[in-house]
A and B are shown apart, each in its own frame.
Chain A
Amino acid sequence: MATMNMLQAINNALDIAMAEDEKVICFGEDVGIFGGVFRATSHLQEKYGKARCFNTPLVEQGIIGFANGLAAQGSVPVAEIQFADYIFPAFDQIVNETAKFRYRSGDLFNVGGLTIRTPYGGGIAGGLYHSQSPEAYFTHTPGLKVVVPRNPYQAKGLLLAAIRDPDPVLFLEPKRLYRAAVGEVPEEDYQLPIGEAEITKEGTDITVVGWGAQMEVIGKAVELAEEQGIACEVIDLRSLLPWDADTVVESVLKTGRLVVSHEAPLTGGFAGEIAATIQERCFLYLESPIARVTGLDTPFPLVLEKEYLPDHLKIFEAIRESVNF
């Protein structure tokens, strides 16, 4: 075991993947000698050479188009998009190409080797364009997998799984936790399952679901709730596509109550998908309306970021209201 922050854990996963398989290739804006603006790819160019870790020109549609071709050829590209806010020039390549390569060719060709890594989320005074959580645009895209780690241990295990997964994976990294989340991480190779949620805390009164950086916020809210004698069951979805409905269903059958939280705006957010599925499958067991604690239906603000964010107090209030319904 070693103590690592999330960036070190990601860097370590990339290092292991590149060492083990020479088909693994990392690239993106400033990813080469500089190691990326967050330093997630530090030293990889030194170790594996410029052919396998390099700067690209500043063109996201090019990065993902190139990655699609490279993956189709049989390589294992790990493409970095500098901020999730800047993924949209590549939206066509991801939604129409990455996600549909296998299906449209009748499995003659696929881009399963592809992993797209990108930092997402707010809480860093980044304003409109360094804070967004765009997961719901991509969870609406069959053929893609969407994975979000909550801490360094999860980041390493899930990233290694993503790189080796037979399907293309969008790997959303909670950048607020890049240096803030520090934990014990095995130095050796390991993988965590994609498509499986994890119950991070058991409880009987209410189920609270989230993913990524929001898990830390949920943790604080749950502490407040526990002080008031409310026993919360906490679930980290880890994968949003495919998402592990069974684990959430099983929990809600037990607790009868559900709160889902994400930073992205309410309308069209992934919490809506979870709420719909749970009311379908747990209708007669629900004791209160499913609550969504999310960002507002606005672009991401700057100065009033604190007011905008679905923080622990808003989640705590939702838990309380649900229990007192």
Chain B
Amino acid sequence: MMTEYVHQPDFMTGDEFSIPTFSLLCPEGELHDGAIEPALERDHARRIYQAMLATRILDERMMAAQRQGRLSFYMQCTGEEAAVVGATAALDDADMIMAQYREQGALMYRGFSIDEFMNQLFGNELDYGKGRQMPIHYGSRKLHYMTISSPLATQIPQATGYAYGQKLAGDGHCTLTFFGEGAASEGDFHAALNMASVHQVPVIFFCRNNGYAISTPAVEQFAADGIAPRAFGYHMHVIRVDGNDVLAVYEATRQARKIAVERNQPVLIEAMSYRLAAHSSSDDPSGYRSKDEEEVWRAKDPVLRLKKWLLKKQWWSEEEESTQQEALRREVLDTLKRAEKRASPPLESLISDVYADITPALQRQFDQLKRHIRRYPDAYPRGAKSLDLDVGTDTDSQGEA
């Protein structure tokens, strides 16, 4: 690198740069002065809206189901639907997504069915993850959506590696990884960005800056102006965007994808938003933030903002809205009832997939387990059922996490 020599000590802090926020749509659903409407076709815009709406409704119903004790755990995307769906809509449907856990909107957009959501949430025999992970840890091979892993930030350097492979394969695809502003504190984040920049990798780092990591507010997470300035340190393209403005998110991600795929360069996007719901069903935000603060953000509802724009363009109507909402609610409830009644994955799923093939040692442990369950079938209703043994007692619930 070339450097200029100066002869006075001059310390810099980063305040020399200020990163603006890209936004197109006002809360009233109109374009800002000077904003250029993205080239978004009617059907595409409707697909985006319907995914956002469906995500909102799924979250509402499933949180209610969790409260009724039907589900062990849940996490909502509420407030961040524009960021997640907008980014996904700007990708090719075959681009890889590596998400954190609050990005069900991306799956919704790509066509994960309500049945598929439910099967994972209830960990039943149809769950692709075979009932091994907590609710919301979705994955879909056919929709190019990597199975969620709870340890934070681990997917970020993996996205760099995955995208490097895509570059070598030359198939014109990229990877987008979602993560929270909290997770961006992990070492994995920094490793991921540096490697992506050094190795010229077609990866998009999409930070959902929603203000909180559980109870920890962003001001206690970093002293800098958000996550975006970190890109400078890695010589990476960066843009900050209003995360509640789906048009801005869409347009920023669309252009980021061009940089990634056409120039093999990584891009960092910081979407400014707010986690409107609790961190998870185990959390109560009243211990660390005010209702007033929440209200400020509720007024910026991203779903409503897009709806207003669509209504103005006459691409959507109130009638469609109510029909759609009602249909979605019914579908979620019907599907939920079906999914929770389904059998658990078979006992063999305890030991499969640890390795490609079951090891002799594990097989021995499993045979011993089966003998034990045959001796005490009532104590292991799921295992006993799977072994076709008669069980006296009822299957108990998953308990709480």
CB–CB A307/B347 < 8 A: yes
Write the chain A residue with the least CB distance to B216.
A55
CB–CB B350/A304 < 8 A: yes
CB–CB A130/B401 < 8 A: yes
Q: List 5 A-B contacts (CB under 8 A).
A: A37-B214, A37-B215, A57-B222, A62-B185, A89-B186
- Chain A residues in 8 Å Cβ range of B362: 296-298
CB–CB B372/A313 < 8 A: yes
| CB 8 Å contact bits of B54-84 with A (1 = contact, 0 = none) | 0000000000000000001100000000000
Number of interface residues of A (CB under 8 A): 42
- Chain A residues in 8 Å Cβ range of B366: 296
Among B308-357, those with CB < 8 Å from A are 344-345, 347, 349-351, 354
**Stretch from B104-112, B130-138, B239-247, B254-262 forming part of the interface with A:** B130-138
Contact of B134 (CB < 8 Å), options: A55, A297, A302, A308: A302
- Chain B residues in 8 Å Cβ range of A19: none
CB–CB B214/A302 < 8 A: no
Q: Does B389 contact A (CB under 8 A)?
A: no
CB–CB A266/B365 < 8 A: yes
Write the chain B residue with the least CB distance to A126.
B401
| CB 8 Å contact bits of A43-71 with B (1 = contact, 0 = none) | 00000000000110111111000000000
CB–CB A128/B150 < 8 A: yes
| CB 8 Å contact bits of B105-144 with A (1 = contact, 0 = none) | 0000000000000000001000000011110010000000
Nearest Cβ on chain B to A30's Cβ, whole angstroms:
5
Number of residue pairs across A and B with beta carbons under 8 Å?
Answer: 149
Among A237-275, those with CB < 8 Å from B are 266-267
CB–CB B401/A317 < 8 A: no
A33-B215 CB under 8 A given contacts A296-B366, A303-B398: yes
Write the chain A residue with the least CB distance to B124.
A303
- Interface of B toward A, CB cutoff 8 Å: 72-73, 123, 131-134, 137, 149-152, 182-183, 185-188, 213-216, 220-222, 282-283, 287-288, 344-345, 347, 349-351, 354, 359, 361-362, 365-366, 369, 372-373, 375-376, 379-380, 382-383, 398-401
A58-B365 CB under 8 A given contacts A30-B214, A124-B399, A128-B133: no
CB–CB A130/B134 < 8 A: yes
A62 to B184, CA, bound (A): 13
- Chain A residues in 8 Å Cβ range of B213: 29-30, 58
A58-B186 CB under 8 A given contacts A30-B215, A85-B151, A304-B345: yes
Write the chain A residue with the least CB distance to B282.
A37
Chain A contact surface mostly: loop
CB–CB B185/A58 < 8 A: yes
A268 to B134, CA, bound (A): 26
| CB 8 Å contact bits of A277-317 with B (1 = contact, 0 = none) | 00000000000000000001111011110111001011001
Contact of B344 (CB < 8 Å), options: A30, A32, A126, A304: A304
CB–CB B187/A128 < 8 A: no
- Chain A residues in 8 Å Cβ range of B134: 125-127, 129-130, 302
Q: Does A88 contact B (CB under 8 A)?
A: yes
A33-B288 CB under 8 A given contacts A296-B365, A299-B132: yes
- Chain A residues in 8 Å Cβ range of B361: 267, 297
Write the chain A residue with the least CB distance to B397.
A125
- Chain B residues in 8 Å Cβ range of A266: 365
Contact of A313 (CB < 8 Å), options: B150, B376, B382: B376
- Chain B residues in 8 Å Cβ range of A267: 361
A29 to B369, CA, bound (A): 38
Write the chain B residue with the least CB distance to A59.
B185
Write the chain A residue with the least CB distance to B287.
A34
CB–CB B131/A304 < 8 A: yes
A287 to B383, CA, bound (A): 33
Among A83-110, those with CB < 8 Å from B are 85-86, 88-89
CB–CB B216/A124 < 8 A: no
CB–CB B151/A129 < 8 A: yes
Write the chain A residue with the least CB distance to B399.
A125
- Chain A residues in 8 Å Cβ range of B188: 89
Write the chain B residue with the least CB distance to A314.
B372
Write the chain A residue with the least CB distance to B72.
A125
Nearest Cβ on chain B to A17's Cβ, whole angstroms:
23
CB–CB B401/A125 < 8 A: yes
- Chain A residues in 8 Å Cβ range of B222: 57
Write the chain A residue with the least CB distance to B123.
A303
A57 to B221, CA, bound (A): 5
- Chain B residues in 8 Å Cβ range of A85: 150-151
CB-CB nearest 3 A-B residue pairs: A303-B131, A129-B150, A34-B215
Write the chain A residue with the least CB distance to B398.
A125
A58 to B185, CA, bound (A): 5
CB–CB A317/B372 < 8 A: yes
